[in-house]
Amino acid sequence: MKYILHFLAVLFLLSTPSSLLAAKAQKAPSPAVKNSDQTQQELKNEGSSQVNKPNESGESQMIQNRVKACQDREVGIKTRSQNMTQFSFKLMETFGTMANRVEDYYQKKLMSQGIKVSNYQKLSAEVKTKKAAALKISTQAQNSLLNFNCNSEKPSEALNAFNGDMTKLKTALKEYQGAVKNLGEAVKSAAKKGNQ
């Protein structure tokens, strides 16, 4: 239907003599032409008034867009963050299981055979200290995640705090793993020496 109307309009223009079209163009009223100096001054005043006005609607729109974008990502951010904290708890649980197995082996097998590790108490205390530090930082990371909300005044601060806590937690978990490893190696070397 649309194409038919366009076709009819083109057909009408082609069939109308050009002298009739020229006469209609001359009869059309011309718009009132203003003095060019007056027009330039009006445009200048209009432009300066726009510049001097604060763009409140644009600023509020920008804030609304930021909040909406944050809300769109909030669920994903919280899910990934929760997965990271759960993974860190699983790592701590794994390292704790390793430490318990080493301690059980040492106390039940090696001590019953009279084999002792000279710095066992120190290594065992270090494992417990590193575990407590990792647990404290992990709890701190979880609390900073709970503070993340897009409707708060500065949601990026809570997210940055969480990221900082996770970096600290990564370091603490490496130290905890190292302490467990040192304990295991000390017990293992003592067991080898005792079996020779």
Write phi, then psi, for 55 (nearest 5 degrees): -85, 75
Q: What is the pTM of this model?
A: 0.64
Q: How confident is the model at residue 193 (pLDDT cuts 50, 70, 90)?
A: confident
- For 42-78, the pLDDT digits (tens) are 655 555 544 445 556 778 888 788 778 877 778 887 8
| CA 180 from centre of chain | 33
Q: Which residues fall within 8 angstroms of residue 74, CB to CB, at 6 or more apart?
A: 148, 149, 150
CB 65 within 8 Å of CB 151: no
CB 84 within 8 Å of CB 163: no
- For 145-162, the pLDDT digits (tens) are 777 777 777 777 878 888
Amino acid found at 114:
G
